[in-house]
Amino acid sequence: MSKLLFGDLDFRKFTPYLIKKTEDDEPVPILWDEEDEIEINYDVYNHFCQYIRTMFNTFPEEKITDNDTLKRWYITKDKRAIENKKKLAEQGKNESYSIQALISSCINHPGFKYGLKDLKKVGVCEFYDSVKRLQVYEQSTALMKGMYSGFVDGSKLKPTDYNFMREI
């Protein structure tokens, strides 16, 4: 998977180091590839993370507090969520879509423009964009059909809600 995202970048070549920018600074961790002279510092790491989060539309919830009770509550809540995900996975009830389920549902949808052989040539970003666009198109079509049939009150909708060519 990393080859799809990062091309020929070989993460096995990187060695962790602690460096100081100046004598007074705290040492900061970096990864250094001596052969290709590539440095992955905190800024590059954040850029990678933001790219992957945007691509998969997954953004962590930031929880900042000074209250110790609230801090313990956040930790407990997150631990329970992890335990629940493990239990669901053991039961075979995964709440997130796997790549296989996305590919299967898209290929079997009449509006999807790629076949299984074509899909192997498509990049990850292009595939996820197609998945999102297909969802937007289906939602927009359902809203418009509901408005025209009288089952949906169109006066309470924004025009962007039923515009399938909107930004996603």
Residues 6+ apart with CB under 8 A from 69: none
Please count the CA atoms within 13 angstroms of the CA of 76 that sit on its side-chain side. 6
| 49-58 pLDDT per residue, tens | 888 888 777 7
8 A C-beta contact, residue 134 and residue 112: yes
β-pair type (38-40, 15-19)? unpaired
How does residue 13 score in pLDDT terms, banded at 50, 70 and 90? very high
What is the pTM assigned to this prediction?
0.47
pLDDT above 90 coverage of the chain, percent? 21
| 113-164 pLDDT per residue, tens | 888 888 888 888 888 888 888 999 999 999 989 988 988 888 888 888 888 8
Residue 31 structure tokens? 């990864």
How does residue 33 score in pLDDT terms, banded at 50, 70 and 90? very high
| 59-77 pLDDT per residue, tens | 777 788 888 888 888 889 8
